[in-house]
Amino acid sequence: MGPHRVNIINLLNLIASPSEQLEYQESAPVNVANEMVNQWFDDFYHPADEQFASQFSADELVLLKRFDAYYNERLALLLDSLDGLLRNRAWDEVMAYAGGVLDACRWRGIEARYESPEG
């Protein structure tokens, strides 16, 4: 599995799962609320990049674009702490939407992994 696909699948699974978010917060010295925003909008979702786009089907790209717009519309309503985020209605909506994308693409619960160099 290519790196763009791995990153998107794993991040969507994180966004859709409060328990994974709490686990991540306990194990990493980062602000998980900020990380999920930064990873999606700055690090991982680059639909204009040809290499990124080549790792997804046309239907998957449409679903990702819709999720991106949905997430972006709610950004101003999101809190910058995980505790606050998990009590936030807008975040509940984003988590549910991410879950819908996961289900539509059959990615829910997948732990995506990078391909090894030896194939």
pTM for the whole structure: 0.94
- Averaged pLDDT for residues 77-87: 95
Spatial separation of the C-alpha atoms in residues 72 and 113, rounded to whole Å: 27
Going by C-beta distance under 8 Å and a sequence separation of 6 or more, which residues neighbour residue 22? Answer: 82, 86
In tens, the pLDDT along 99-108 reads 999 999 999 9
**DSSP H or E stretch at residue 58:** helix 58-74
Q: What is the residue extent of each domain of the chain?
A: 3-105
Label residues 72-105 b or e (16+ Cβ within 10 Å = b): eeeeeebeeebeebbebebbeebbebbbbbbeeb
DSSP 49: S
